[in-house]
Amino acid sequence: MSTASHPGSPDTAPVRQEEPQPGIGSFLLQPRDPAELDQSDRAWRDMVPYLKEKGYQLRPRWQPDWVPSWQSTGDEPSPFIHEDYYGLRFGHIIDAVRLSDGEMVVLKRISSKSHPYEKEISLMFSAEPLRSNPSNHAVPILDVFDVPETPESYILVMPLLRTFYEPHFTTVGEAIEFCRQALEGLQLMHDHHVAHRDGSQLNIMMDPRPMYPEMFHPHEINKARDYRHRAKYTRRTQTPVKYYWIDFGLSRKFDADDTSPRAYPILGGDATAPEFQRSVEPCDPFPTDIYYLGNTIHMVLIEKHRGFEFLIPLINDMKHDDPSKRPTIHDAVARFDTICKKISWWRLRVPLDDYMLEKEESLFNRTMRVAYHIFITAGDMLHDAGVERLNFQDHRASMGLYVQDVKWNYVANFLLYAFSPPTKDLVLTDRHFLIGPAVYARPTCGSPVRLDIHDVLPTAYLFLRDIMDLNIMMDPRPIFPDMYHPLPVRLRQDFQGSPRHTRRLDNPVNYYITDFGLSRQYDAEDTAPLEHPIVGGDKTVPEFLAHPGVPCNPFPTDVYYAGSTIRKMFLEQFDGFEFIAPLINDMVNDDPAKRPTMKEVVSRFDDIRGRLHWWTLRARLAPKNEEIPLWILNSLLYLYIVTLDILYRRPSVPTPPPHPPHTFTV
């Protein structure tokens, strides 16, 4: 038997509250001028250059040249509508953006003196083989580095997470999945002899990215990142989430051969553990972990909602006053699994009833709420009951001889160049299988294809040889947060109903050139390469028709392909593109020598775009020969939409951010 102790450790003294980090007390207890930075604000502000070197960007309030936005805009009467009005909730924790990919992260400043084991334990769970263990629910550590000029202090970088019960669970099944993951995560910790010791409801969080594809504002989590609109989200049933244990500041790792570890009591977020009320003597911390989790489930679920009566015996045992009579984590997990196997599919689909809501809710409102819940979950309930969905996808052919959808899949012979689209994996066989992200077939009515990527091609001396509408695609993730079925794309992944989507104006997308099967790369010193014609998807190339079989310079042919694609998709189908017609006509000139180079195309395109009036950019794509009554109706509807766009200050040209959230992980 051993008693946990360490010089400077919280375990060397009996029961005490966790010491607040600098700045917490001043923020919570004292009134402050929001235009003034407190001690913790200034500490983060002074580290901005250092954090930027490390690859992290703080919000405007913590920039060295910050001027309160409500002062610069004259909104003195209502400064609270500005996101930089608010300081930090906890002085040692701040949100940031990772510059490499735009990911929203959290930076936590930690003192080794106050929390001597947090770094060691956190990094243990973030290192292989535990990192890739699906049962691991410890918050991932993305980066760690020292605080400059502050000995024994460091910063942990973690993904931005969200309170696990916000938004509320909508069904019993959603809540049960939370319980399963929380138990599973604690089991893995105990298996590796780690006692968390602060398992309050504030220290279990969820990864919100599946539910919040566009994420939310880190200070006001119900608002979008622009701090003006409400954050859009889906239900957990539609987009399941993963839950994580956080904050290992009070945690301890014990020796594997220590069968009866002891540690002095220390109060974290939950100060109700019975063993801490009666004594300050060292005790086994693992049963206390069981109490904390049982109490969290009791307070968040059983105490507030009907429908969890089947969990009460287990939770009561987990909260037993006598720690020796509580189940071990393995016993708790086994009993929980047995309970879940006995729950009917109908009970898992039942909507959560709030006790407080039930007391005041009218019968009519309750009936309508339950009816709506059944409506939105009927398909899932019938499937769980054994009723097969109508599913015809197995009777459809694949997309093509060399393309097979398997979640992520492209088959080609050449796609190792850096830019279009990112390569996921390469399987070396007699035929090369190149796996890339699923992308969406050609851009539909909305925004013209961006030409910016073409100015890379001459520098790379790469000739594509098959640019056509089918080989220019877009990353659909920003506007299809739940994605869609690979074939046909008009249906959801479950082959039931249409996929939910937004407009490009709301969520700008990136476009990609695909299919490098006919492409060639030439030497940099080869200023006039010649190549025998190879006919791709676009069979209208003048030089191929006029002189079949005669070698020609392939780069002007690429220019023709790009111009022909834009002409076919936009100029021939819609009114309103007269401003770009001269450029496109030059790109599709019958004489290859008279076509502009791609650099000239990009330069002229940028010049044209820069001179366009905002109203022209916001104009509706009106199909040619549209009937007058339909034209009037669509124009009136669009006038309403564009008015909202202007009021909400949406940009005229939807340009994705430099580091979009929907990037592909290689």
Write out pLDDT tens, residues 272-304.
999 998 888 999 999 999 999 999 999 999 988
The verdict on domain 425-614 having CATH code 3.40.50.720 is no
Instruction: Show Cβ contacts of residue 92 under 8 Å, excluding neighbours closer than 6 positions.
Output: 21, 22, 23, 24, 40, 108, 109, 110
Range 451-472 average pLDDT: 49
- pLDDT of 645: 76
* Residue 139: strand pairing partners: none
Q: How far apart are CA 163 and CA 452, in angstroms?
A: 41
Instruction: Show Cβ contacts of residue 665 under 8 Å, excluding neighbours closer than 6 positions.
Output: none
* Residue 39: strand pairing partners: none
Q: Where are the domains of the chain?
A: 353-384, 425-614
Confidence label for 372 from pLDDT (cuts 50, 70 and 90): low
H or E element in which residue 46 lies: helix 39-46
Extract the tokens encoding 234.
């889906």
Mean pLDDT of the chain: 78
Q: What is the pLDDT of residues 473-531, one digit of tens each?
A: 788 888 888 887 776 676 777 766 778 888 777 788 888 887 777 777 888 887 788 88
Extract the tokens encoding 71.
């002062």
- Helix/strand/coil for 241: coil
DSSP per residue, 20-68: PPTTHHHHHHS---TTS--HHHHHHHHTHHHHHHHTEE--GGGSTT---
Among residues 108, 104, 68, the alpha carbon closest in space to that of 86 is found at 68
* Residue 473: strand pairing partners: 512
Output phi, psi for 61, to 5 deg.
Answer: -55, -30
E strands, 514-650, are 520-521, 574-575, 622-623
Q: How far apart are CA 185 and CA 163, in angstroms?
A: 16
- pLDDT of 663: 52
- Rounded to 5°, angle at Cα 496 from 493 and 497: 100
Query: Which of 62-76, 128-142, 260-274, 338-352 shows the highest mean pLDDT?
Result: 128-142
- pLDDT of 546: 79
- pLDDT of 280: 85
Count of all residues that appear for the chain in the document? 666
Q: How far apart are CA 194 and CA 280, in angstroms?
A: 21
Confidence label for 447 from pLDDT (cuts 50, 70 and 90): very low
- pLDDT of 335: 98
- Helix/strand/coil for 84: helix
Residue 650: C-alpha distances to residues 263, 577, 582, 644 (Å): 57, 22, 29, 9
Range 119-144 average pLDDT: 97
Q: What percentage of the chain exceeds 90 in pLDDT?
A: 39
E strands, 525-627, are 574-575, 622-623
* Residue 146: strand pairing partners: 154
**Which letter does DSSP use for residue 61 in this model?**
G
* Residue 427: strand pairing partners: 433
Cβ–Cβ under 8 Å, residues 21 and 92: yes
Q: How far apart are CA 453 and CA 338, in angstroms?
A: 56
Among residues 446, 453, 432, the alpha carbon closest in space to that of 479 is found at 446
Q: Poorest-confidence range of 30-44, 200-214, 304-318, 426-440?
A: 426-440
E strands, 51-167, are 56-57, 93-98, 104-111, 143-146, 153-159, 162-163
Q: How far apart are CA 140 and CA 120, in angstroms?
A: 13
> In 443-532, where does DSSP find H-type helix?
457-460
Q: Would the pTM count as exceeding 0.85?
A: no
- pLDDT of 117: 95
Nearest-10 crossing angle of helices 554-566, 598-610: 30
H or E element in which residue 244 lies: strand 243-245
Q: What is the pLDDT of residues 216-250, one digit of tens each?
A: 999 999 899 998 888 999 999 999 999 999 999 99
- pLDDT of 414: 35
Question: Based on the number of CB atoms within 10 Å of its own CB, is 561 exposed (0-12), middle (13-18) or buried (19 or more)?
Answer: buried
Q: How far apart are CA 404 and CA 516, in angstroms?
A: 17
Output phi, psi for 94, to 5 deg.
Answer: -145, 150
